[in-house]
């Protein structure tokens, strides 16, 4: 079984901005340390290919966060 890298899209990203949009949430089955706060999808793919891991995108719950009742 290959390892997995779990990532999610950042919430505060402006359309058209050239800033990295993704954040690594966790890593399973791979000895990998991530020091960057935000990454581009291509960078995630390069890391996954280098360590033989699969990328898993986490979907949001669609709620309103802390204010949800």
15-63 pLDDT per residue, tens: 766 677 888 889 999 888 889 988 999 999 999 999 999 999 998 766 5
**Rounded mean pLDDT, 1-19:** 77
- Cβ atoms of residues 40 and 64 within 8 Å: no
Structure tokens of 17?
């901005």
Q: How far apart are CA 9 and CA 55, in angstroms?
A: 13
pLDDT at position 57 is 92
Concatenated DSSP letters for the chain?
A: --EEEEEEE-SS--TT--S--EEEEEEESS------SSB-HHHHHHHHHHHTEEEEEPPP--S-GGG--
């Amino acid at each position: 079984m290959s390892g997995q890298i779990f990532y999610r899209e950042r919430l505060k990203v402006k359309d058209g901005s050239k800033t990295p949009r993704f954040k690594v949430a966790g890593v399973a089955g791979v000895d990998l340390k991530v020091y960057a706060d935000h990454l581009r999808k291509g960078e995630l793919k390069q890391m996954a290919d280098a360590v033989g891991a699969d990328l898993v995108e986490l979907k949001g719950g669609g709620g309103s966060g802390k204010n949800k009742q």
